Every structure is written in C-alpha cells, then in structure tokens.
Structure 1
Amino acid sequence: MKPLIGRETRLCMSLSARPGNFGTRFHNRLYEATGLDFVYKSFSTTDLPAAIGGIRALNVRGCAISMPFKEAVIALLDGLAPSAAAIDSVNTIVNDDGVLTGHNTDYGAVVDLVADLDRTMPFVLRGSGGMARAVAAALHDSGFANGTIVARNEEAGRALADLYGYRWSAEPGEAAPLLVNVTPLGMTGADEAALAFPGEMIARCEVAFDVVQYPPETPFLRAAAEAGKRRITGTEVATLQALQQFVLYTGVTPSAAQVEEAAAFARANP
C-alpha cells in the first residue's frame, strides 16, 4: 500500500504549455500499485528558468518536459544523457541531489516500438520539431536509412534531413511503406479534422505511425484502420516514454500488468 503523503514523499512533476492528465494519472497509479512514497503533479509556466530553479531548490526528483521547453531547457541543466545529447532535445529531467540531467524517453519509446519492423522499409516522416528530431534519430539509430522528412519550414526540414542523411520535401508526395506523423495534424483542437497524409499514400503504406496522443484515434489512424494497415499509436508512445521516466525517477520497474492497468486508467480518465 502506498504511504500517506508526508514529509518524506518525493515529488515528480511535468512542465508544459498545455498540461494534460495522462502522465499525472499514469505515474500516480503506478505509485499506488508499487507502494512507492511518491506523488506526481503537472504544471504550466511562463518562466522556465524560475521553474527549473524551483526543481533544484525544492529537490523535486524528476520532471517531464513538453513543448515548447524541450530545447530551451538544455542551457539550464548540468548535463545530458546520450539520448538527449544526440538530438539536442530533453523531455525528462532527473535530479540527483541538485545535479539536473536531461534525458529523452521519447527516443527510447520509438526505438522499442519500431524494433520489429523491416529496417529496409522506406519511410516518410512529417514534422521537424523537437519530437520529430527524437523520432528521426530513433529511426536512424535503428537502421532505417531510406527516409524523407516532410516539412513546410524548409530550413528546419532540410537541417533535420541532412543530419541523418535523409531527403527533404515541402509536401507529402511519393508513397512509402512506413508513414510517420509528428505534427499537430489530427490533434484535438484546430487541426483535429486534418488528415496527416493523403488517402492514396495511406492506402499504399504498410505501417501508419502517429505520435498524436489526443484523440487516441486521429483521422490518420482511422483511415489506416479502415485500409487494414498496421498502426503504431500516440498512446503507445506516451505509455512507453512515461514508463521509462518512472524507472528513471524511482529505480523500480513495474510489472507489465501494472503498466497496462495504469495506462488504461490514464486513458479512461483524460
């Protein structure tokens, strides 16, 4: 049984421009399941340096970092783990007695999710931001050598493509077996009705990978399901990266059943 919150309770948190509940519910559910004396809370801030100073001053054990802070936070940390240093993007901070180290568990989650795919499979990745860098790095380091980065921002798109030896395109064009959406297209809000890739590209792909977490079923994923394609979802990414954060913060690896139950709880209580 999880201890009552007291002076020995360790705090973990998240910083985001638009905080969600998945991470909060996932982590706290796992603390209950494993009996750990931890609590997790999400926060928003407009003063990143002060927030990071608060992590040091209050000895917050760990902090998840979301957009738009994944790059800006680097200058405020004491060091980077290889997963973050390779792509200059941080989504996780671990505090070891005042020493703040940045990690990127998005990268690790994607590596795990594509582990059984054919490495010779060409792909088209749409996006050029911090999460797109994590996904592109994970694909590259997993052995995917034939890829196209689609980004309207030519400078950012070309830079990401050149970094890993991929091609750049301003718009989706040629079909590919693996399609990866790392943009807000299909996300709850202004772009929720948008299809990340044209229907003809989806019809000709083998695997549809969408990192958008909300809604769980984006137009891209629905179209892929209707076409009978294999899907990798944003919920899977969110669960795996949050699990890796949990292990970094606590040193405890929960059982597969505990992770599945916590993820189901977080999805059912958005």
Structure 2
Amino acid sequence: MPRPPIGRDTRLCMSLSARPGNFGTRFHNRLFELTGLDFVYKAFSTTDLAGAIGGIRALGIRGCAISMPFKEAVIPLLDGLAPSAAAIDSVNTIVNDDGVLTGHNTDYGAVRQLLADIDPETPFVLRGAGGMAKAVAAALRDAGFRDGTLVARNEDAGRALAKLYGFECSTSVERGAALLINVTPLGMTGADADALAFPAELIADCAIAFDVVQYPPETPFLRAAAAAGKRTITGTEVATLQALDQFTLYTGVTPTAEQVTDAAAYARANI
C-alpha cells in the first residue's frame, strides 16, 4: 500500500538536535513509505528548547527524537517519563498523546541488544559522561558487566555516573580493556572529525571497538580497529535499533525485518 499524499491529516514526527543529521529522517520516511502510513518526518535544530517543546504540544506533533545536547534538559518540560527514561534520567524520544508529552529512551534498548552476545565478564572502558553515556552505562550494568572504567573530562560528572552504576572512574585513559566504547563527539563529523577516541596502543590490545558516533559511519576509532582485525560495533547499528523502537512508539506498527533492512540501507546510502 503506497503512502497517501501529504495532506491535512498527515501526522508529523520530528527530531531536535544541535547538529541534525539525515539518518533518522531518511529511515523513518522510508518506513512510512514501505508501510503506507500517512506520516512524515523532519529534522530540526533549535536554540529555544522550551519553545520547541511547546510547539510539539500545541501543534499536535506525534513524536520527537531528542539528541545532544537536550537529552537531560528536556525532562522538566515533559508531563512524565516512561520507565526506560526515568531509570536513567535521560530522554531520546517524546511521544505526544493528545497534548500529554511522555519521555522515553530507546538508546538503552538498542545498546542492550548490541551487547547481548558479549561475555559480561569482559573488561571495558567507556569514554563519555553525557546523556548517551547514561544509557550505555545502564545497559552495561543491567547486562551483567562489572569490570569497567568510565573515562570523562568532566571529573564530577564522570565520578557521579560511575558511582551510580558501580564502575570505576578516571579522567584519562590509563589502561586498556577488551571492550572499548566511545560515547563522546571524538571522531564525529565537524571539529572532532580527525580525533581518535582511544590511543592506538589500546585499540591494538582490545577485542571489540564500539563507537556510538553516527556521523561518519566509520570514525577514525572504528577504522583503526577494523584495520587491526578487531570486531566493530557502529553508531549506525545503534541508530537503526533505537529508531525502529521510536517508529513503533509513534505509529503502533512493527515493520517487518525486510522493511527495516531496506530502510536502514536507504538511510545509510543517503546520509
């Protein structure tokens, strides 16, 4: 069934980010097309978060993805939190039910899925202390990982996050681990595009390199790990899984595996 032409009954979904990308827009719109749903998705940036959230409520926008740097700042502007967001005080998804805005976190579930086949006895180093780092740290803890160090430039934020989830904390990468996870902008398109999230010697010693950075799909960290024969987990994988959960929250529809594969490939090819 083809998607109906855009009209007055078309429902809008959107995203808010300091640095909007195309993956979510392409992914959702492709799935709307494949499932024949009368929805459209558009990415936005803003310097007026309160105004943007008020607009979601006032205009009946069905759903909104939330990215850096708004995942924590948006919480006081919402009417409530789903358990996925309340557990980690971080929101990456808003669902609007007749003007009632509820925050969810689909990052957590995506990371849990990607960690599922990794032995929880594996020691890890997690670099970052922001909203996405909360989701990753919570997923690690809940998956049974115990031997880990959180590395953060902001010592207070890093120490608080590490204490919350029962891990060690450091302000620098002082030791290697079998699992290295980057949850910082290092390697992201822009000013940090050429930055290596971990020293080359630690990459050489690891077994798995996990980078949540979505743009570019292959960061310097992941390229170095792949060249050294390490297993890599990409930000695109995280983005696909979390966006799929968002799609279902917005529409109540669960696409087929074939539709998800199609939409993800379309989104990657058109970033």
Question: Shorter-chain TM-score: what band?
Answer: over 0.9
Counterpart of 1:141 in structure 2 is 142
Counterpart of 1:173 in structure 2 is 174
Counterpart of 1:12 in structure 2 is 13
Counterpart of 2:64 in structure 1 is 63
Counterpart of 1:42 in structure 2 is 43
Q: Write the letter of the residue equivalent to 2:141.
A: H
Whole-Å Cα distance in 2 between the matches of residues 45 and 195 of structure 1? 29
Shift of 1:204: 1.2
Gaps (5+ residues) in structure 2? none
Report SS of the residue matched to 1:168: strand
Report SS of the residue matched to 1:246: helix
Report SS of the residue matched to 1:116: coil
Confirm or deny that 1:103 pairs with 2:104: yes
Match runs of 1:1-270 below 5 Å: 1-270=2-271
Whole-Å Cα distance in 1 between the matches of residues 215 and 75 of structure 2? 27
Large movers: runs of 4+ above 3 Å:
none
Whole-Å Cα distance in 2 between the matches of residues 46 and 188 of structure 1? 20
Whole-Å Cα distance in 1 between the matches of residues 45 and 224 of structure 2? 34
Q: With structure 1 as the length reference, what TM-score do the two structures score? A: 0.98
Gaps (5+ residues) in structure 1? none
Whole-Å Cα distance in 1 between the matches of residues 201 and 43 of structure 2? 40
Aligned length: 270
Shift of 1:68: 1.3
C-alpha root-mean-square deviation of aligned residues, in Å?
A: 0.9
Shift of 1:266: 1.0
Percent identity for Structure 1 against Structure 2:
79
Whole-Å Cα distance in 2 between the matches of residues 169 and 43 of structure 1? 35
Whole-Å Cα distance in 2 between the matches of residues 96 and 159 of structure 1? 34
Report SS of the residue matched to 1:111: helix
